[in-house]
Amino acid sequence: MPARDGAACVVLDLGLPGFTGFEALDRLLALEPATAVVVLTGWGDQDAGIAAVARGAQDYLVKGEADGATIARSIRFAVERKRSQLAAAALAEAEVRQAEQHRLERALLAEPVLRRVDLSLTSRYQAARPGVVSGDFFDAIELDDGSVRLVVGDVAGHGADEAALGVALRAGWRSLVLAGLDPTDLLLALEDLIAAERRSGDEFATVCDLTIAPDLRSVCVRSAGHPPPVLAGRGALVDDARRAPLGVRLGPRDLPGTHHDLPADWSLVAYTDGLFEVRSGDGVLAAEAVPPAVEAAAGRGGVDPDALIAAFAGLGAEGWRDDVAVIVISGRTGS
């Protein structure tokens, strides 16, 4: 970690003309945060040396007391000490960032509990780049009448603002569902939430809201610009309204949703668009690639989310373009 001119260590005379007190030291530390500093203090001025170390210097030498060997040892010591200080600081920073990301991911991605024994739900999340959170969110609620509500969404872009908006949308969705708001109005209430919460003017989110009937024989899909969920064996479950994402104030103000029948034993995959933003060598995967991949990942116990993610990861020449959330919900109504 040398300075710009290649110096690993600077020996600084505290009595430099034109500087008072620790001015030169403070400036040097600000200018060259990765360079080790050994200060020279005047005759018998131990206190200044100790104060300089407290301000960020690695060591001090008292003029006239140090011989060549002492100076050489001090410089070596200072360089090593600086290196370990920098490493410790980087590690601490990485740990804080990782903890923050963990907290955000927990707030974005629920771990819902379904009481029904004829339903199973699994979810997976894969970050595009370590340390960078995006606004993918997911939640599910089983209501008292036995119906199940599920939401998956993606705030466009990456970063803390997007993640914060994703958290607000998930919490908003859950609150509105529990408050009993008509599902037809729910996504539009979330659009008002985006307008109130967004930091910049152009943030938007794609959202897919599913209502599974208590008898598990049908699902209502309400989508605002979100890629359609895929039913194993049947393909994409499209919302015919094809509404624009929330936050883009284009298109109709109501979302009646589109009903789809479900077979006796079914497995349904909802996901965020990172799943098909993986690039293959010969171009870009589009949503059309998802249904065949779901079929390939489908087994007797439903769709395997890990197999689905692995199928896409195998195609990605340049790795993930975006974060991916995959939710598999399976129902058994057959005898």
Q: Closest CB to another protein among 10 and 167?
A: 167
Choose one: 6-14, 85-93, 184-192, 223-231; the region binding another protein (CB under 8 A): 223-231
- Establish if 153 lies at the interface with another protein (CB under 8 A): no
- Establish if 209 lies at the interface with another protein (CB under 8 A): no
**Of these, 53, 71, 188, 287, which contacts another protein (CB under 8 A)?**
287
Choose one: 16-24, 138-146, 239-247, 327-335; the region binding another protein (CB under 8 A): 239-247
- Establish if 204 lies at the interface with another protein (CB under 8 A): yes
**Of these, 49, 112, 153, 227, which contacts another protein (CB under 8 A)?**
227
Minimal distance in Å, beta carbon 95 to another protein?
25
- Establish if 231 lies at the interface with another protein (CB under 8 A): no
Chain residues 240-279 in contact with another protein, contact rule CB under 8 A: 241-245, 247-251, 273, 277, 279
Amino acid at 322: D
Residue 79 to residues 76, 86, 219, Cα–Cα distance (Å): 5, 11, 65
Choose one: 17-25, 32-40, 183-191, 226-234; the region binding another protein (CB under 8 A): 226-234
Q: How many residues bind another protein (CB under 8 A)?
A: 35
Choose one: 27-35, 60-68, 170-178, 203-211; the region binding another protein (CB under 8 A): 203-211
**HEC sequence for the chain:** CCCCCCCCEEEEECCCCCCCCCHHHHHHHHHCCCCEEEEEECCCCHHHHHHHHHHCCCEEEECCCCCHHHHHHHHHHHHHHHHHHHHHHHHHHHHHHHHHHHHHHHHHECCCCCCCCCEEEEEEEECCCCCCCEEEEEEEEECCCCCEEEEEEEEEEECHHHHHHHHHHHHHHHHHHHCCCCHHHHHHHHHHHHHHHCCCCCCCEEEEEEEECCCCCEEEEEEEECCCCEECCCEECCCCCCECCECCCCCCCCCCCEEEECCCEEEEEEECHHHHCCEECCEECCHHHHHHHHHHHEECCEECHHHHHHHHHCCCCCCCCCCEEEEEEEEECCC
- Establish if 283 lies at the interface with another protein (CB under 8 A): yes
- Establish if 75 lies at the interface with another protein (CB under 8 A): no
**Of these, 35, 41, 206, 330, which contacts another protein (CB under 8 A)?**
206
Site string for another protein, 154-183 (x = CB under 8 A): x-xxx-------------------------
φ and ψ at residue 303, rounded to 5 degrees: -80, 135
Q: Closest CB to another protein among 198 and 260?
A: 198
- Establish if 286 lies at the interface with another protein (CB under 8 A): yes
Binding-site ranges for another protein (CB under 8 A): 154, 156-158, 201-204, 206, 223-228, 241-245, 247-251, 273, 277, 279, 283-284, 286-288, 321-322
